[in-house]
Chain A
Amino acid sequence: MTYLAKPKLLRADAPKNALGYTRRDYEGAISTLCAGCGHDSISAAVVQACFDLDIEPHRVAKLSGIGCSSKTPDYFLGASHGFNTTHGRMPSVLTGAALANRDLLYLGVSGDGDSASIGIGQFAHAMRRGVNMTYIVENNGVYGLTKGQFSATTDKGSKNKRGVVNNDTPIDLMALALQLGASYVARSFSGDKEQLIPLIKGALRHRGPAVIDVISPCVTFNNHAGSTKSYDYVREHNEAVNRLDFILPRDQINASYEPGSLRRVVQHDGSILHLRKLGNDYDPSDRVGAMNHLQERHALGEIVTGLLYVDSSAEDLHRHLNTVEKPLNQLGDAYLCPGGKALEALNASLR
């Protein structure tokens, strides 16, 4: 961590996006996490993604629970709405906020403890309900804030800093998300922003629950030999199924791809996901295939990354519940409270 705020001085040619903001305008307070924490790289990736997508900071609501990961929304998008909920309860608070105002972009930030332990029920239900959100799990496989105990995502056989071996079976949140109906499922690594940033962009522009599991090494408690979530281990065992190029509808496509090497997915808002195939023919539109692939490769000790599954035509919670388009705070009193006669009519219809 650093005590000093970042100097405001900019280079004269610092790029600006369509809104006239520089990347620095999407930053938050100075991080208080340990130096070298993977979470800070994820924050930087969120900053870059929002800058690239010309997102107005006031149009974003960032919600989190408790933990090192859940501290990070303070370190990016300083001008956005924020809500630090109780432990593991980010998904339900976010669901409520989303129902009240669908005009905002909802970004949930959580960790392996917050989502796979205390909040696993909340995680499961947000996925199955189809809440329109981006859900980033900053997964370091350790309880960093309480000095390094194994978490629910620690791999079986992984050693802690003192050499103790974990015997419990890990929870694979992405396997869970696939099974529960999430419509955009990805895994990435905090040390590979080239992969992570397009995945975040695709998630922010996806309709429905978009979840990204980001392996994020804990430099203090989980970056030693024997850990399966260290920088070195993840780099050695990282097996990407594809590389994503995120393309806004307005962008010109300059890249050329070899025939048959590309899968093109158009999302509901016209944004395009170009998935460059790597190695064997992985089909990101096959939910069952994705689940199988994840299990198979996990058994081989590999960490599968990339966009595992996407359903660009998925519906979300608003459609399921047929909610009103306008945010509740913009509806007049008369509309929200139609009066005694309307209540009587309603009651009568139910008798």
Chain B
Amino acid sequence: MNHHKTGREVQRLADFWPHVKSAGLFFSVASVPGFARRQTVLQCTIPAVGEPLPILPQYPVTGDRAHVKPTNIGAHEYFHKVVDCQWACPAHTPVPEYIRLIAAGRYSDAYMINWRSNVFPGILGRVCDRPCEPACRRGRVDKEPVAICRLKRVAADLKDDIRDRLPLAPEKKNGKRVACIGCGPASLTVARDLAVIGYQVSIFDSGATPGGMVRSQIPKFRLPDSVIDEECGYILDLGVEAYFNHWVKSLKDVLAEGWDAVFVGTGAPRGRDAEIPGRQEAAAHIQIGIDWLANVAFGHTTKIARRVIVLGGGNTAMDCCRSARRMGGEDVKVIVRSGFEEMKASPWEKEEAIHEGIPILNMRVPKEFRHENGTLTGVLFEIVRAEYDAKGRRSLIPTGEPDEFHACDEVLVAIGQENAFPWIEKDIGLEFDKWGMPVLNEATLQSTLPKVFFGGDAALGPKNIITAAAQGHEAAISIDLFCRGKDQLKRPPPMVNLVSQKMGIHEWSYDNQVSEEERKKVPVKALEKTLKDIKLELELGFDPFMACAEAERCLNCDIETVFTVKTCIECDACVDICPTECITFTANGEEDDLRGRLKAPAKIRDQALYVSDTLKTGRVMVKDENICLHCGMCAERCPTGAWDMQKFFLQCAEAGTEARRT
């Protein structure tokens, strides 16, 4: 015979068995008035006669212990962060979305998604710094991440003519005039975003062609001029007035011209020099890397000595050494202060250099340029080792080995870039900090002179093209808000959408079969050919078949697993099927405790836990987002549809989008 006790009677029983109470209580059904939801037993079975049965601690109940709050999946930041690549991209390009379009052969659509977010898909598809790839989830469950960057190039290479899809500048302008100084990626992004909403944008650049550092510093064998011409052209065709061969000598003069806003996107144009003995004497044979690259790019320099040493370990150094090889340098070496792993150059650029027969020597600090009457004979290096202090700061300690001499005929110095604003007067109210950088509001990129905004390498120091584009978008939003007299800190929110992908019991509107193929290598032209012609593009790009195979490696992280507490019957089907064991049903607790108790302990703290509200048994569903393959098996196995696969789409706001009225 069953006897149902009220909550209060049960509480009394619980007091009777201290061990039961301490372990927690099993409960079900709805709540009883007067009792906190997590602390009561709502129904239990008691024998008709004699001593009542203990209430068994089926699952511990949290009571007043600290526990993790249910995840707020309504805030777009949560699901955005699950899409690691998009989160890592400064411009938040919807990566999985365009990769799926590439797999479907819809290259133009894929291109347009990119074009909207990052403005230069063809350029970035060749030379982007790819912050997305180290973040790619595939890299955590497979040997290598998805070749996101090279897929972007596929969209650019294989698209149709997309000119009729581009927005047009309105014929009737809004009457506001904006000047952009410099014609690099940041300025061009500002120009695009503002031109299409009715601004009259004028760009001033000292060069003869658009592109800025993209054109002057990146060798043509990595990025042909035709791609730069095409993508800069799309922007200049929006009615943007471009003044080339126009050197801006004074910001004061520019401001006097009565612009509504001025955007400074002049990059970091000064290469750092190696000030060591012999520098002045052998000056004729020592060149600054970025200046030399620009001379090569524009055809002013056509040859180099036989033996070349490149100083520096960044991407500019890699471009210098590979260009030197193509200019006739036979014995080209890169010599770097730091260790190989700590070099600033991207791993793939180091690989390319090594592939082209260029040795990289590490832990060597240049000490002296040796010369004979001004003719360079070589460079002397001190051999060092790295030591780190408690704070992780590195210092280079001489090992005491004898200094090393490397003979050479020419040196390229690529040890960093600096900002330079000689054309900005110091008395016009635009403040600079002690490092010579403009004082900016980092959220709005506005300087202390309200009309003047900064972006790209000129704003917060040298970074990369994709950051310049992202900052261009932000600056354009700020300029638009500023010109309309609105609060720049009330930024427009991104466009966000979350929609189920269910098409049938086992059918999803995405390909949920996880490809087990390895990362595809981009085919390249033969070295004998490419080393002879500096303008010949080395990489061929993926063909449609390779592109499809590579695109299929994408795990579709934007197809989110969405859990509904009230339909879950706690059958464990999702737990049992999950290939990476990332779902656990357990008692709630403190986050560290919870992370350790999962079926697969969640060790990477910056990867979120998805924690549900309390279930019928008093437990919670906890999913470690880190290793989820987004294969949808949990949703296929769920008998009640408590799991669903929903596509999360986020597109950042552009200038002209209205902020939320709150």
Contacts and interface: CB of A to CB of B under 8 A. Distances in A.
Interface in B552-578: 569-573, 575-577
Interface stretch (A118-126, A199-207, A230-238): A230-238
Interface residues of B, number: 49
Nearest to A237: B45
A37 interface: yes
B571 A6 contact: no
A237 B58 CA distance: 11
Which has the most chain A C-beta neighbours within 10 Å: B512, B516, B626, B639?
A: B639
Given A191-B572, A236-B43, A239-B56, A11 B638 contact: no
Given A44-B575, A278-B54, A36 B639 contact: yes
B36 interface: no
Interface string A22-46: 0110000001001111101101100
B576 A43 contact: yes
Contacts of A192: 58
B506 interface: yes
B638 A280 contact: no
Interface string A235-248: 11111100000000
A300 B47 contact: yes
Contacts of B141: 9-12
Contacts of A240: 56
B580 A11 contact: yes
A4 interface: yes
Contacts of B26: 235
Given A9-B579, A23-B581, A302-B45, A36 B573 contact: yes
Interface string B618-662: 000000001101010100111110000000000000000000000
A279 B573 contact: no
Given A9-B629, A35-B637, A232-B28, A238 B58 contact: yes
Given A9-B141, A9-B580, A44 B631 contact: no
A43 B573 CA distance: 11
A223 interface: yes
A36 B580 contact: no
A190 to B, nearest CB: 8
A8 B516 contact: yes
A270 interface: no
B426 interface: no
A38 to B, nearest CB: 7
A2 B2 contact: no
Contacts of A43: 576
Contact of B2 (A10, A24, A191, A300): A300
A136 B580 CA distance: 27
A217 B516 contact: no
Interface in A229-279: 231-232, 235-240, 258, 278-279
B563 to A, nearest CB: 15
Main secondary structure of the interface of B (DSSP, over half): loop
A192 B619 CA distance: 12
B513 interface: yes
B28 A36 contact: no
A244 to B, nearest CB: 14
Contacts of B516: 7-9
A138 to B, nearest CB: 14
Given A7-B579, A36-B569, A2 B639 contact: no
A11 B570 contact: no
Nearest to A15: B600
A128 interface: no
Which has the most chain B C-beta neighbours within 10 Å: A2, A190, A240, A300?
A: A2
A335 interface: no
B572 A239 contact: no
B571 A38 contact: yes
B573 A40 contact: yes
A36 B640 contact: yes
A157 interface: no
A279 B53 contact: yes
B569 A223 contact: yes
Interface string B11-28: 000000101100000101
Interface string B40-71: 00010101100001101110000000000000
A4 to B, nearest CB: 5
A286 B43 CA distance: 31
Nearest to A194: B59
A35 B639 contact: yes
B285 to A, nearest CB: 49
A4 B43 contact: no
B142 A9 contact: yes
Given A3-B506, A278-B54, A217 B580 contact: no
A300 B1 contact: yes
Contacts of A191: 570-572
A13 interface: yes
A186 to B, nearest CB: 16
A81 interface: no
A11 B600 contact: yes
A34 B577 CA distance: 13
A280 B17 CA distance: 11
Contacts of B638: 35-36
Contacts of A217: 571
A239 B53 contact: yes
Contacts of A13: 603
A301 interface: yes
Contacts of A302: 45
Given A9-B579, A36-B637, A300-B1, A2 B56 contact: no
Nearest to A30: B577
Nearest to A195: B58
A14 B603 CA distance: 12
Given A1-B637, A2-B633, A2-B637, 15 more contacts: A1-B506, A4-B636, A7-B629, A7-B631, A14-B600, A24-B579, A31-B577, A35-B639, A40-B576, A191-B571, A219-B569, A231-B571, A235-B26, A235-B616, A300-B2
13 contacts: A3-B506, A4-B636, A8-B579, A11-B580, A23-B581, A35-B639, A36-B639, A191-B570, A192-B58, A239-B45, A239-B53, A279-B17, A301-B1
Interface of A: 1-4, 6-14, 23-24, 31, 34-38, 40-41, 43-44, 190-193, 217, 219, 223, 231-232, 235-240, 258, 278-280, 300-302
Top-9 shortest CB links A-B? A36-B639, A7-B514, A279-B54, A44-B576, A36-B571, A11-B627, A9-B141, A35-B639, A2-B636
